Amino acid sequence: MAIDIYDQVVPVMQRMLHNLAAILTKAEKYAEERKIDPAALLQSRLFPDMFTFTRQIQIATDFTKSTPARLAGIEPPKWEDTEQTFAELQARIQRGVDYLGSFKREQFVGGDTRAVEFKTPRGSMNFTGRDFLLNFALPNFYFHATMAYALLRHNGLDIGKPDFIGK
């Protein structure tokens, strides 16, 4: 049985966003209980040239809007990257869940062969929909979600693989 593009994008990304939201809730509670300035966690990074925890969440959620939009042949929405609190990051994650939920299976028909252009400050990258999804979008989405998890774990939050993978 074939797995279609919808099944590889919408439920997969929604599940991970729900898991990130649960981890974020634990992080906020952890900061509160230990009297840690939330900014210490939100701005944490493993190395000075690495993106912060907040930016990792922003980029992961960027992929939850750009991936389905491009595969459905529509322009992704633009979201400002202004989040500075746990609550604002939770709202952004929920916006990603809601946006993913707005897609219908039919919108992805032909998405695997659709030409996808991904623009970056360094130039454009061109893919087929299949290659964009499997070799660029999903790896990037999981990379940034994993970095967010790792930053919190590095800062002492008691979370493990079940928190990342979910139930």
Rounded CA-CA distance 144/53 in Å is 9
Rounded CA-CA distance 53/166 in Å is 20
Q: Tokens 């746990």 map to which residue?
A: 86
Residue 4 belongs to a domain: no
Q: pLDDT class for 119, splitting at 50, 70, 90? A: confident
Q: Is the pLDDT of residue 1 over 70?
A: no
Q: Is the pLDDT of residue 155 over 70?
A: yes
Structural domains in the chain (count): 1
Residue 165 belongs to a domain: no
Q: pLDDT class for 74, splitting at 50, 70, 90? A: very high
Residue 167 belongs to a domain: no
Residue 26 belongs to a domain: yes
Angle (CA) 30 162 140, round 5°: 90
Residue 55 belongs to a domain: yes
Residue 106 belongs to a domain: yes
Q: Which domain holds residue 109?
A: 9-158
| pTM of the complete model | 0.95
Whether 15 contacts 141, CB under 8 Å: no
Q: pLDDT class for 120, splitting at 50, 70, 90? A: confident
The CATH code of the domain that includes 75 is: 1.20.120.450
Residue 3 belongs to a domain: no
Residue 1 belongs to a domain: no
